[in-house]
């Protein structure tokens, strides 16, 4: 090789270096959706308590969260930056991501439980070590803003995670029973709303409404509607093809619910799903103006034309009693009955 050829070769290599870096970075975010299951939990295991989103305002909430996990039978490891604060967030993005990655890396930790939701989890998504998570599958539990973590981890690793109460949420008898049945007894759960003890002759509480009858099977994906739609156009949004989509939200006016379902329609997500479950929409009240679409209007416009099994009113979301459901678990929906059930285990076989 003469000097001219050598110089040309070096120039070509140098020109390609930025693209090699880009390709390497993109390769790290290539979806690997082979279904992964975490090992099952047992009493006496160690759980990591982390705060990926907003800071906890009252230290008493942290103490109660720790006591809840201990009462459930666990040893608790507290994230290094659990009490950190930056604005409304529980520390900087790198600090919160460090606690999260460390929990997956720690061989003593069997599960990661988020203390609260709020806002900010999506900021962590580029900082998570997805290869580490693939190699160390563990139970992840949380809801609301934690939808960003459920979605990204499922999209990038295929790991089944769990949408349910945060550690600082209400741990009433219903939620404790859900936890024990899912994690300790490892039941193939059937999720159907319970009738309240104080309900009337004809039940008014916890009612489900069939949008379109029928049954369908598929992997369960979803979570908080606002958080999920904010991931549109990113590599952290899960695949919707033949999935059962579940959604919930809080304090969003109906026109915003309409806008977000429109987004899911426009990106082609709604046309791909096999079934639809809507949970609670707490305090989703209209605001002033010339009028508004009702929730019935919105579901009739966006969901009914899909002609897939669909119902709303499931006990999922920002409510005191809530189901613990596996994101990525195989389920069958029965829209007429207003229920869905697990078809396969969601933990590694012993």
Which DSSP string corresponds to 153-213?
HHHHH-B-EEE---TTS---HHHHHHHIIIIIS----EEEPPPPTT--SS--TT--EEEE-
* pLDDT at position 312: 98
pLDDT band at 291 (very low <50, low <70, confident <90, very high): confident
Q: Is 98 a catalytic residue?
A: no
Residue 211 parent element (H or E): strand 209-212
Task: Report the distance separating Cα 68 and Cα 74, nearest Å.
Answer: 9
For the domain covering 46-184, report its CATH number.
3.40.50.10740
Region label for 58, one of left (φ > 0), alpha (ψ between -120 and 50) or beta (otherwise)? beta
Per DSSP, the residues of 301-317 read: HHTGGG-S-EEE--S-S
* Average pLDDT of the segment spanning 231-257: 97
Q: H helices then E strands: how many in the chain?
A: 9, 14
Half-sphere exposure of 66 (CA within 13 A, CB side): 11
Domain 46-184 shares a fold with domain 194-342: no
Q: Which CATH architecture has domain 194-342?
A: 3-Layer(bba) Sandwich (3.50)
pLDDT, one tens digit per residue, over 15-36 is 443 433 333 334 445 555 688 9
Mean pLDDT score of the chain: 91
Q: Do residues 313 and 161 make contact, with C-beta atoms less than 8 angstroms apart?
A: no
The SS3 call for residue 132 is: helix
Angle at 116 between CA 166 and CA 298, to 5 degrees: 80
Nearest partner of 238 among 327, 146, 132, 109, judged by Cα: 327
Q: Do residues 166 and 116 make contact, with C-beta atoms less than 8 angstroms apart?
A: yes
Q: Is 119 a catalytic residue?
A: no
* pLDDT at position 7: 39
| Burial annotation 280-311 (CB, 10 A radius, 16+ → b, else e) | bbeeeeeeeeeebbebeebbeebbeebebbbb
Give the residue extent of every domain in the chain: 46-184, 194-342
Task: Report the distance separating Cα 186 and Cα 347, nearest Å.
Answer: 8
Handedness of CA 29, 277, 324, 344 (dihedral sign): negative
Higher-confidence residue: 294 or 7? 294
Judged against a pLDDT cut of 90, whether residue 92 lies above it is answered with yes
* pLDDT at position 206: 87
Task: Report the distance separating Cα 87 and Cα 65, nearest Å.
Answer: 22
**The pairing of beta strand 139-142 with beta strand 161-163:** parallel
pLDDT band at 3 (very low <50, low <70, confident <90, very high): very low
* Average pLDDT of the segment spanning 10-16: 42
Q: Is 94 a catalytic residue?
A: no
* Average pLDDT of the segment spanning 62-87: 96
Angle at 176 between CA 173 and CA 177, to 5 degrees: 85
* pLDDT at position 111: 98
Query: What angle, rounded to 10 degrees, do the helices at 254-266 and 295-302 form?
Result: 10
Which entry of 98, 248, 252, 302 is annotated as an active-site residue?
A: 248
* Average pLDDT of the segment spanning 38-62: 95
Task: Report the distance separating Cα 263 and Cα 257, nearest Å.
Answer: 10
Task: Report the distance separating Cα 279 and Cα 245, nearest Å.
Answer: 11
Q: Do residues 153 and 51 make contact, with C-beta atoms less than 8 angstroms apart?
A: no
Task: Report the distance separating Cα 286 and Cα 293, nearest Å.
Answer: 8
* pLDDT at position 200: 82
pLDDT, one tens digit per residue, over 184-228 is 999 999 999 998 777 788 878 889 999 999 999 999 999 999 999
* pLDDT at position 30: 52
Q: Do residues 126 and 26 make contact, with C-beta atoms less than 8 angstroms apart?
A: no
Which entry of 150, 154, 302, 318 is annotated as an active-site residue?
A: 318
In sequence order, which residues have a C-beta less than 8 Å from that of residue 235 and are 6 or more positions away? 29, 31, 155, 156
Judged against a pLDDT cut of 80, whether residue 6 lies above it is answered with no
Which residue has tokens 């690997």?
32
Judged against a pLDDT cut of 80, whether residue 234 lies above it is answered with yes
Which entry of 98, 116, 144, 168 is annotated as an active-site residue?
A: 144
* pLDDT at position 204: 80
């Amino acid at each position: 090789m003469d000097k001219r050829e050598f110089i040309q070769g070096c120039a070509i290599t140098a020109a390609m270096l930025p693209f090699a870096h880009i390709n390497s970075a993109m390769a790290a975010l290539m979806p690997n959706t082979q279904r992964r299951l975490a090992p099952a939990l047992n009493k006496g295991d160690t759980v990591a308590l982390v705060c990926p989103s907003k800071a906890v305002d009252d230290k008493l909430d942290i103490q109660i969260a720790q006591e809840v996990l201990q009462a459930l039978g666990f040893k608790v490891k507290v994230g290094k930056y659990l009490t950190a604060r930056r604005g409304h967030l529980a520390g900087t993005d790198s600090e919160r991501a460090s606690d999260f990655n460390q929990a997956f890396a720690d061989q003593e930790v069997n599960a990661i439980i988020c203390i609260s939701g709020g806002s900010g989890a999506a900021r962590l998504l580029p900082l998570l070590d997805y290869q580490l998570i693939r190699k160390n599958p563990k139970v992840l539990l949380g809801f609301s803003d934690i939808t960003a973590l459920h979605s990204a981890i499922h999209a990038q690793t295929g790991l089944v995670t769990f949408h349910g109460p945060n550690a600082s949420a209400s741990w009433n008898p219903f939620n404790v029973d859900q936890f024990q049945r899912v994690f300790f007894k490892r039941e193939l759960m059937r999720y159907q709303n319970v009738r309240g003890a104080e309900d009337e002759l004809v039940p008014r509480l916890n009612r489900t409404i069939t949008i379109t009858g029928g049954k369908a099977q598929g992997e369960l994906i979803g979570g908080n509607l606002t958080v999920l739609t904010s991931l549109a156009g990113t590599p952290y949004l899960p695949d919707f093809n033949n999935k059962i989509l579940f959604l919930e939200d809080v304090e969003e006016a109906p026109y915003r619910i309409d806008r977000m379902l429109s987004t899911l329609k426009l990106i082609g997500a709604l046309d791909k799903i096999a079934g639809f479950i809507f949970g609670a929409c707490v305090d989703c009240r209209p605001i002033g103006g010339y009028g508004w679409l009702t929730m019935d209007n919105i579901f009739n416009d966006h969901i009914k034309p899909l002609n897939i099994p669909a119902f709303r009113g499931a006990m999922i979301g920002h409510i005191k009693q809530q189901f613990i459901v596996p994101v990525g678990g195989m389920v069958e929906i029965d829209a007429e009955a207003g229920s869905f059930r697990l078809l396969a285990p969601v933990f590694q076989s012993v």
